[in-house]
Amino acid sequence: MSKVITLHEFILDRQADFPFASGELSRILNDIAVASKIVSRDVRKAGLVDHILGAQGETNIQGEEQQKLDVIADDQFIRAFQNGGEVCGIASEENDDFVAFTSETAKNGKYIVLFDPLDGSSNIDVNVSIGTIFSIYRRSSAIGKLANLEDMLQKGSEQIAAGYVLYGSSTMLVYTTGAGVNGFTLDPSIGEFCLSHPNMKTPNTGRIYAMNEGNIGVCDQGVQKYIAYCQSDENDKGAPYSGRYIGSLVADFHRNLIKGGIYIYPATNASPEGKLRLLYECNPLAFIIEQAGGIASTGKERVLDIKPTRLHQRIPFFAGSKAMVEKALDFLGH
Ligand code: AFP
């Protein structure tokens, strides 16, 4: 039987791969792992808290105000980064503005983290998989100062690490530091993430397309033609692909990463820039899919090449197996 490798051990082993490694990035990754274990525990209790403990009103049995799980998750991650000492500022889906940490230790932190604490949170009430997505950059501002907006608005290609946690039938943490993608499954009996998916590669092609097809009539003709191609028996597979759409980005992305497939969230009439957020949804997943051998594009350009202009900027997103995304881009005329 082979030895179990925990995330903690794995991170320490890989630390030497970074030039000038001082252990700070390793500590951030460990902080994320700890925060996500707490969130995982809370997610597993979601039905109990929402429907049993909180059923009497606005407060729970301890007299505390009920909080939505995405706010709890946001607080958990912010607390982890604020107290860790390596991170000087964060931006999250839950906060309109970025947060620059003000303690002297934090001002000396070299890193910033952008994250979506609980993506797909509208799925919580119906017991469907949800996820956390994170993206780590070296700060561009001077050490010792407060983090600023420019720190947050770096190109995705500048990421030094990115990952996600999927709270699914099991809890998994998948991350990259630019040297491949590795996946860890939480073993609840020992409370550790254990290496379960080393060196993940996405198949070059697959049979799955994932798109909210409710939008098919209100998106670009190129997308409509590509989806018709996926559904036709005259495509490259000679049979219709499988349509699979959970509506929870991390879950849809993770399934496609493993099985091969394409994820599409195009621009629509109602959301001409697309729906998904560049900084803490698309960039981290783009980094991962590229590291796994796939492609992520807006339909016009490589996601990681975009210079962000706004914190909550949205983009159209086409990501997945190389051959499938390339085919979709052909239909879009690129
Ligand atoms: P919520 O956090 O509001 O559930 O949004 C989830 C999400 O950002 C992403 O996880 C899904 O892939 C996508 O939106 C689903 O959007 P549609 O409901 O428009 O298909």
DSSP string, 255-324: HHHHH-EEEEE--BSS-TT-SEEIIIIIHHHHHHHHHTT-EEE-SSSBGGG----STT-EE-EEEE-HHH
Distance in angstroms (rounded) separating the CA atoms of residues 126 and 129:
9
| Measured distance between the N- and C-terminal CA atoms of the chain, rounded to whole angstroms | 49
Give the per-residue pLDDT at 47: 73
Indicate which atom in ligand 1 lies nearest the CA of residue 281. Answer: 8
CB count in 10 Å sphere of residue 300: 13
- CA 141/CA 147 separation, integer angstroms: 7
Residue 65 pLDDT greater than 70, yes or no: no
Mean per-residue pLDDT over the chain, rounded: 92
| Ligand 1 atom showing the smallest separation from residue 252 Cα | 12
pLDDT interval class at 1 (50, 70, 90): low
Res 324: pLDDT: 98
Examine the pLDDT at 62 and tell me if it is beyond 70.
Answer: no
- The backbone torsions φ and ψ at residue 287, rounded to the nearest 5 degrees and listed phi first, read -60, -45
Distance (Å) from CA 247 to ligand 1 centroid: 5
Average pLDDT over residues 272-301: 98
Distance 284 CA to ligand 1 centre (A): 16
In angstroms and rounded to an integer, the radius of gyration of the C-alpha atoms of the chain is: 20
For 91-142, where are the alpha helices, taking DSSP H only?
104-107
User: Under DSSP, is residue 92 helix (H, G, I), strand (E, B) or coil?
Assistant: strand
The single residue listed with the structure tokens 């429907």 is: 51
Atom of ligand 1 nearest to the CA of 116: 2
Query: What is the per-residue pLDDT for 124?
Result: 83
Does 63 score more than 60 pLDDT? no
Pick the residue whose CA is nearest to atom 13 on ligand 1.
Answer: 247
pLDDT bucket at 53, cuts 50 / 70 / 90 = very low
Starting from the edge strand earliest in sequence, which strands make up the sheet with 111-119, in order? 99-100, 87-92, 111-119, 130-138, 161-167, 171-176, 181-187, 192-197
The pLDDT of residue 117: 95
pLDDT of 64 > 50? The answer is no
- The arithmetic mean of pLDDT across residues 131-159, rounded, is 98
Question: 133 C-alpha vs ligand 1 centroid, how far in Å?
Answer: 13
pLDDT at 14 over 90: no
pLDDT for position 67: 58
Share of the chain above pLDDT 70, in %: 92
Q: Indicate if the pLDDT at residue 140 is higher than 70.
A: yes
**CA atoms of 305 and 127, how far apart (whole Å):** 36
pLDDT, tens digit, for every residue of 221-253?
A: 999 999 999 999 999 999 999 999 999 999 999
**Each residue's pLDDT tens digit, 152-200:** 999 999 999 999 999 999 999 999 999 999 999 999 999 999 999 999 9
Which pTM value belongs to this model? 0.94
